[in-house]
Structure 1
Amino acid sequence: MSDFPKDWAMYEPDGDFAVSEMMREVKVALKNRPLPDVRTLLKAKIELVGKSHGEIYDSEVRNRIESYLTSWACEIHELTDSWNRLSSSYWRL
């Protein structure tokens, strides 16, 4: 996996930092927990970050989160075949 992203399309740098920290935790969970548990964790973390950074609910931010998570999950769980690939809609953000 390449360098960890720092730009999550948040309005302020501290918002991008908060999302980066959240996503680091979620990425670790992808390696150690089943996908439904990761999805539940993600939603709880988004709600927590959203208390101080409401822009986390912006479409562009959610699309970036979904895109990275889908890519990471497919890589970690070796879901590379087109018929066996995870859809970004799985996260239901």
Structure 2
Amino acid sequence: MQVEDWQMFDEDGNIAVSHMMQEIKQALSNQPLPKVREQLHQKIQELSKKYGEVYDTEVRYRISSRLTAWASEVHDLKSVFGFNSQYWDL
């Protein structure tokens, strides 16, 4: 797994978010989007117990942007449908 810069305060935070995002990316392939969104919110809540900065604006932006791109690719969603990063409600 490749650790990306999610704009967390330290490398441990980036690693934790990277793990979470890999789980969510896998869920995109076999679960409906509302279920994935629910799972995302649960994972963020769990992660925030140790890394409160997961709620930082830049972190949320990076998460929602990446998930939007992945979901659009997996589910072949076009912008015509109005699917955008606001869907994740972060």
TM-score norm. by structure 2 comes to: 0.94
Number of aligned positions between the proteins: 90
Q: Is 1:90 matched with 2:87?
A: yes
Q: Which runs of 5+ in 1 are unaligned?
A: none
Percent of pairs identical after alignment? 51
Q: Which runs of 5+ in 2 are unaligned?
A: none
Runs in 1 of length 4+ with deviation above 4 angstroms? Answer: none
Q: 1:49 aligns with which of 30, 47, 72?
A: 47
What CA distance in whole angstroms lies between the structure 2 residues aligned with 1:23 and 1:34? 16
**Would you say the 8 A contact 2:3–2:14 is kept in 1?**
no
Give the letter for the 2:76 counterpart.
E
RMSD (Å) for aligned C-alpha atoms: 1.4
Question: Paired residue for 1:29?
Answer: 27
Question: Paired residue for 1:7?
Answer: 5
Question: Paired residue for 2:63?
Answer: 65
Q: Report the alpha carbon displacement of residue 87 of structure 1 after superposing the two structures with TM.
A: 1.1
**Would you say the 8 A contact 1:74–1:85 is kept in 2?**
no
TM-score norm. by structure 1 comes to: 0.91
Q: Cα–Cα, structure 1 residues 78 and 41, in superposed 2: closer, same or farther, change >3 Å?
A: same
Tell me which moved more, 70-79 or 5-14. 5-14
Question: Paired residue for 1:18?
Answer: 16
Residue 86 of structure 1 aligns to a residue whose secondary structure is: coil
Q: Deviations over 1:8-62 (max 9, x none)?
A: 0000000000000000000000001000000000000000110000000000000
What CA distance in whole angstroms lies between the structure 2 residues aligned with 1:69 and 1:5? 16
